[in-house]
Amino acid sequence: MISLNFNCIFTSCSFKQNNVEEEEFLKHLSEDHPDEIIDISKKENIPIKIAQMIAVTNSTVFINSG
Cα→Cα distances 12→2, 3, 8, 33, 61, Å: 27, 24, 9, 10, 18
**Count of CB atoms situated within 10 Å of the CB of 45:** 6
Sequence-separated (6 or more) residues with CB below 8 Å from residue 40:
46, 51, 54, 55
How high is the pLDDT of residue 66?
A: 45
Residue 14 counted as domain residue: no
pLDDT of 65 over the 70 cut: no
Q: Which helix (H) or strand (E) holds 38?
A: helix 34-44
- Average pLDDT in the 41-48 region? 98
Residue 24 counted as domain residue: yes
pLDDT digits (tens, 9 = 90+) for 47-63: 999 999 999 999 999 76
Residue 2 counted as domain residue: no
For the chain, the average pLDDT equals 93
Domain that holds residue 56: 20-60
End-to-end CA gap in the chain: 23
Structural domain total, the chain: 1
pTM value is 0.86
